[in-house]
Amino acid sequence: MPCKPEQKNIKEPTVTALPTTLEEARARDARDPLRTSRDQFHIPADTIYLDGNSLGCMPKATAARLRQVVEQEWAEGLIRSWNDADWINLPQRVGARIAPLIGAEPDEVLMTDSTSINLYKLAAAAVRMQPGRRRIITEPGNFPTDRYILQGLADSLQEQPELVTLPAEQIADAIDEDTALVMLTHVHYKSGRLHDMAAITQQARACGALMLWDLSHSAGALPVDLNGCGADMAVGCGYKYLNGGPGAPAFAWVAKRHHERLNQPIWGWFGHASPFAMSDDYVPAEGLRQVLTGTTAVLGASALETGLVLFADIDMAVLRRKSQQLTQQFIEAVERRCPKAGFELASPRDPEMRGSQVSFHHPEGYAIMQALIDRGVIGDFRAPDIIRFGMAPLYVGFEDIHNAVEILGDIMDYRHWDDPRYRQRNAVT
C-alpha cells in the first residue's frame, strides 16, 4: 500500500560510565557543560527537586522581572503598557523563543491559553481541514485532558468522528485513508516512553492524515524537530521544562503550509484581522495569529518569557545527553541500592526511548513518595502505583541523583514509608 512507508530507526550512541559513588557524581557535576545553568534557578534549601516535569523551578530572574512588570508596567504604565511595554506582541515574542526548541520557524509558534484549550482549537481545526475522513486516532492512557478534549470535540460535532484508541505499537499501522487526525503525546506523562515522531508522522502524512503532537513533556527536555519530521500541528506546556511558573501560558504550533487554510473554532477579538477596528463580524488574522482568542495573561506570559531566556545559549544535544545520563544513573542506582524493594521499572530501559523522567511501579508508591518528600526528595505519584521522577537537566545534577537514591534506599531499608501519615491522600498527588 502506498501509505505504508519503510520505517527508519536512527540510533545515537548510548550512555556509558555513569557515576556510582558520591565522589564520582561530584566529579561529573564539576565537568558538566550545563553546570552554570543551575545557578540561574532558585532551588529550595535541603531539597532535591525531581518534579520539573510537573512544575519547573523558578529562575532567579523571574522574581525581579515580575516585580518590574507589576510595579512599573502595570502600576505606572497601566493601559499604555500594551504599546509601551509591547504586551500586545507577547504571544508572538514568547512563541519565537520556543520555536528553536521544537524545530519550528519563529512565526509558526504562538504562546497563548492552556495546553488543553490549544489542543481543542488545533484538533478542531484539523478535523475541519479533513472533510470526508471520519477517524481520530489516539492512545489509551494518554494524559487525561488530551483524551477528554478529543472526546468533547467529537461529542460537539454533528457528524461525529470515530475516536479510535490504540496501543502505541499499533498506531502506525492503523493510520489509513479514513484517518483525519492522529493525536499523540510525544513523551508519555507516566512512563516517559518516547514515540518515534519521525516514523509516525511520516506514516500519517503518507495516508493524508494530519499529525498533532503534544509536546508537554518534550519542549525544553529534549531536542524536537517538528519541521524536520514534517508534522502538522503541536501544542505544549509552559510550566514544566520551560520553567514558566504555575499555570503559565502554553503554546501552539502549526506548520506554515497550513496557515492559510486554518480555521480554529474559538473566534475571539485577538484573533481578528484588526482587533481594534471593533467590527461586528469576525475576519481571521493572517498567519498564525488567528489562533489567539482573548487577552494575554501578561503576568504569566512575562514569567514564561524570563524562563525561556535561560534556553537561549543551550545546545539541546548536550542537554539531551545529560538527561539520558541522569535518568540512566537513577535507574541503575535504584536497582543497585534497592534490588529487593519491589520496584519495577515503568520507563523504557533504552535511553533512546525515554524522555527526561523515570518511573517505577510499586504497590506502596503513594506512601513511599510521601516519605521521600518528607526527606526533601520531591517527585510525584500517579495512580494507581507509579512513582515518577523528572530530571530537568538545566538544574538537576549527578550528585542530586546519587543522594536521592541513597535516601530512597534508607526509606526502603527501614520501612519509613510504613507510617499512617504517609497514607493520607492530598488533593494533588
Ligand X SMILES: *Cc1c(COP(=O)(O)O)cnc(C)c1O
Q: Does residue 105 contact residue 134 with C-beta atoms inside 8 Å?
A: no
Selected range binding ligand X among 29-37, 43-51, 139-147, 307-315, rule: CB under 6 A: 139-147
**Residue 146 counted as an annotated binding residue:** yes
Residue among 419, 400, 416, 411 at smallest CA distance from 337: 411
The binder of ligand X chosen from 146, 196, 232, 380 (CB under 6 A): 146
Query: Nearest 5°: phi and psi at 211?
Result: -115, 120
Tell me the one-letter amino acid at 358: V
395 forms part of the interface with ligand X (CB under 6 A): no
- Which parts of 210-269 interact with ligand X (CB under 6 A)? 214, 216-217, 237, 250
What is the Cα–Cα distance from 281 to 272, expressed in whole angstroms? 9
The binder of ligand X chosen from 112, 115, 243, 370 (CB under 6 A): 115
388 forms part of the interface with ligand X (CB under 6 A): no
Torsion of CA 152, 156, 159, 161, to 10 degrees: -10
Q: Does residue 422 contact residue 371 with C-beta atoms inside 8 Å?
A: yes
Please indicate whether residue 349 is annotated as part of the active site: no
89 versus 145: smaller Cβ distance to ligand X: 145
The binder of ligand X chosen from 116, 165, 227, 403 (CB under 6 A): 116
Which 8-state DSSP code applies to residue 171?
Answer: H
Selected range binding ligand X among 44-52, 90-98, 138-146, 190-198, rule: CB under 6 A: 138-146
CB of 83 to ligand X, least distance (A): 29
**Residue 115 counted as an annotated binding residue:** yes
Please indicate whether residue 414 is annotated as part of the active site: no
Bridge-based pairing of strands 135-138 and 179-185 is parallel
Site string for ligand X, 168-197 (x = CB under 6 A): -----------------x---x--------
Q: Note the helical H segments in 48-167.
A: 60-68, 81-84, 90-102, 115-128, 144-156
Tell me the one-letter amino acid at 361: H
Selected range binding ligand X among 17-25, 110-118, 133-141, 174-182, rule: CB under 6 A: 110-118
133 versus 217: smaller Cβ distance to ligand X: 217
Please indicate whether residue 422 is annotated as part of the active site: no
Q: Which residue has the cell 512565526?
A: 107
What is the Cα–Cα distance from 385 to 128, expressed in whole angstroms? 39
400 forms part of the interface with ligand X (CB under 6 A): no
Q: Which residue has the cell 481520530?
A: 136
Please indicate whether residue 147 is annotated as part of the active site: no
**Residue 413 counted as an annotated binding residue:** no
**Residue 145 counted as an annotated binding residue:** yes
CB of 146 to ligand X, least distance (A): 5
Bridge-based pairing of strands 179-185 and 210-214 is parallel
Please indicate whether residue 143 is annotated as part of the active site: yes
Tell me the one-letter amino acid at 232: D
Tell me the one-letter amino acid at 210: L
216 versus 329: smaller Cβ distance to ligand X: 216
364 forms part of the interface with ligand X (CB under 6 A): no
130 forms part of the interface with ligand X (CB under 6 A): no
241 versus 366: smaller Cβ distance to ligand X: 241
Catalytic residue among 49, 321, 388, 400: 388
Q: Which residues contact 300 (CB under 8 A, 6 or more apart)?
A: 238, 244, 245, 247, 248, 249
Q: Which residues contact 411 (CB under 8 A, 6 or more apart)?
A: 368, 371, 372, 375, 417
Q: Which residues are catalytic?
A: 143, 214, 239-240, 388
Q: Binding site: which residues?
A: 115-116, 143-146, 185, 214, 217, 239, 269, 295
Binding site for ligand X (CB under 6 A): 114-116, 143, 145-146, 185, 189, 214, 216-217, 237, 250
Q: Binding site for pyridoxal 5'-phosphate: which residues?
A: 115-116, 143-146, 185, 214, 217, 239, 269, 295
